[in-house]
Chain A
Amino acid sequence: MNIALFAARSTFRNKRRSIITLITVSIGTLALCLFGGFVNTVYQGIETGIVRTSGQIHLYREGFFEYGAGRATDYDIADYQRIVDTLQGDDRLAKRIAVITPTLSIGGIAGNYAENSSQTFVGVGLNPADHARMRMWNDYGTSGESSAFPLPADAQGGFIGTGLAKILNLCDELNIAGCTDAPTPVPDNTGAIDPEIADLQLEVDASAQSLPRFPATIDLLGAAASGAPNIIRLPVLSAQAQAQKAVDDRFVAMPLPMAQQLVYGQDEQRVTTLIIQLHHTTDMEDTVAHLRTLIDAQAWPLEVKGFTDFNVTYSRITAMFSTIFGFISVVIAIVVVFTIVNNLSMSVMERFNEIGTLRSIGSRRSVIREQFVLEGIILGVLGAALGLSLGMIVETLVNLSGFSWTPPSNTIPQPLMLNLYANPIMPLGIGLGMIIVTALSSLPPANRAARMPIVDALRHH
């Protein structure tokens, strides 16, 4: 009869009390697993949303990340196609990169002068075909289909945020569900358009005569790289909601050549960012390190940022959920601690005489302590195993339920999937943590049993 077997038999001496303790431990484990699984899904949902639109890695000209928002053309990347070709030619990167695509960040004023409305815009020139491919990314398999990228590969126009469409009174033209144009205000002719802008607009109007007909057009006024104002007429093919209202009210996306025409005119065409989408985010750290080595070797004035750097929302949301998870873990641990302490304290009280007997026939204090700690660990192991098994069942049921939700940074609902066992470290960590908590909880009653004077213990019957 070894001590573990002795402890195992003693654990269920009072079946009702031990089963209640077991249920508490298993429900605690289950709750942590389910919340952990949900948190995993949140992380993956946010990450998937980011990676589909922005990739995992950005290459910028040095200084662009810090200061480029105000002076993008001061930090643009010249001869970017050579850089793209070099990166695509690197064997190690080629295996990992799904998409590498140049983009140009622009800003200025978007106007629908027919409706006498305008709004500052934040825009991006991009390659529609590359971004259509990027939206197919679903490395975790838990996210649903992405909304289709709104521009075809040979798009002759761009798309805007639904908020901007509403501001520019383009709801009807773009046929946006649930969007109504603002009522036409009484004309106010006190303010006249700047003559220089009016001339530019006349030029644009003239050139637009040769373009095919589009549902709507807007005029984008921006500063060219030379510092002079420039204006282009952008056919708007559609509108698509953006995750944040502040972005949605200002967002304009267009094919890269159009954005470059606005910024560079007939000069050398440049970009501000090279977006890299990897097949797997797990390769990011290593890829970033390799890119830095490559950039240093080529002496390119570029810097590399991972998505956790360039998208602070991700870091903040994960930090928030991690804090909540930690808080819930502590609450559950406290419940488990009290349950185990109560169970084992009752057990010690009921077994005073037995403890005295064991001590009198030669059991050391350490053996008594060990036995009660083992009983706590047995409850922890069984409770954790039960909780993890229940977690597997509930995970399957939830994943088959067809529930959906909209993760932060997404605009369309995604299937609600619990991703508990994709990374076994998390459930195993929870199970191990629960066993450690039960072991530590059993120490006070175990010590009490071990320290009890033998003659006092033997007096109890």
Chain B
Amino acid sequence: MNTKTVARLRDVSKHYLLGSVQVTALSALNLEVKAGAFTFVTGPSGSGKTTALNLLGAIDKPSQGSVDMLGQRFDELSDTQLTDFRCRHIAYIFQNFNLIPVLNVYENVEYPLHLMGLPKAARQERVTDVLDAVGLYDRAQHKPNELSGGQRQRVAIARALVKQPTVVLADEPTANLDSQTSRDVTALMQQMQRKFNTTFVFSSHDPDLIAMADEVYHLVDGQLTDIKRQEVPQ
């Protein structure tokens, strides 16, 4: 891990309207993501973890404050520019895997590279590498519904890493996995972080996962209550 900041939330607040009632999901949150780090946003349900990740991932806009990544403020970009930024720099790993059911493993992993406009040979090389890394090369032609939960999450990890993003945002990636599979997936992400030197931002309250954190931001009711920084043995 180095100390270079790749992404930042500055005084970010997020309000929703639930009917006529305004709900505050985040309140004046400041958060920094260091390059190559495992950054965690933790807290109980409804504390604003997912909202913070959505803002970092440029799929939601703050009510107040600003978000930037690699020095680029998101509020200065049009929708299309924001989409293209996401396409090149941000990857997601979802709690429910969110694989495309009509595409097989290979195609699911290859899809982001299509969006980036990579030529076929480059796509093939990258997909093969990453599938090999997550141990699913022999399952490349399988559809998601032919895989176990752990295998699906490995595909999701492969899909996130294949485009070599600046930041991988993982929203409770082990929540739907049994404990053994959860440990396997956690180990895999650690391994991938070392292999590709990728920055991960997690939202989770899984203690096994949090154990490998470089930085932990603890939220309660949308407010930052604690920041822990720890050195993890490399």
Contacts and interface: CB of A to CB of B under 8 A. Distances in A.
B54 interface: yes
A454 B59 contact: yes
Given A1-B111, A1-B114, A354-B98, A455 B86 contact: no
A119 interface: no
Nearest to A8: B102
Contacts of A1: 103, 107, 110-111, 114
Contact of A357 (B79, B100, B110): B100
A453 B94 CA distance: 17
A461 interface: yes
A13 B103 CA distance: 12
Q: Helix, strand, loop or mixed for chain B's interface? A: helix
Interface residues of A, number: 24
B40 interface: no
A365 interface: yes
Given A2-B114, A362-B112, A13 B102 contact: yes
A289 B91 CA distance: 71
A363 B54 CA distance: 16
Contacts of A360: 57, 59, 86, 92
Given A454-B59, A454-B60, A357 B83 contact: no
B96 interface: yes
Interface string A131-152: 0000000000000000000000
B79 to A, nearest CB: 7
Interface size class of B (residues with CB under 8 A): 20 to 34
Interface string A1-45: 110001001100100000000000000000000000000000000
A453 B60 CA distance: 8
Contact of B88 (A13, A356, A362, A454): A362
Interface string A197-222: 00000000000000000000000000
Contact of A6 (B54, B60, B102, B159): B102
Interface in A332-359: 353-354, 356-359
A353 B102 contact: no
Interface string B78-103: 01100110111001101010101111
Contacts of A367: 115
A353 B59 contact: no
A13 to B, nearest CB: 6
A361 B91 CA distance: 6
Contacts of B101: 13, 354
A357 B116 CA distance: 16
A364 interface: yes
B83 A359 contact: yes
B92 A361 contact: yes
B168 to A, nearest CB: 11
Contacts of A358: 100
Contacts of A9: 102-103
Nearest to B97: A357
Interface string B104-130: 000100111011100000000000000
21 contacts: A2-B114, A13-B101, A356-B98, A357-B92, A357-B94, A357-B98, A358-B100, A360-B59, A361-B91, A361-B159, A362-B112, A363-B87, A363-B115, A364-B80, A364-B83, A364-B84, A365-B83, A367-B115, A455-B54, A455-B60, A461-B96
10 cross-chain pairs, A with B, having the tightest CB-CB distances, nearest first? A362-B87, A9-B102, A454-B59, A357-B98, A1-B107, A362-B115, A455-B60, A364-B83, A362-B86, A361-B112
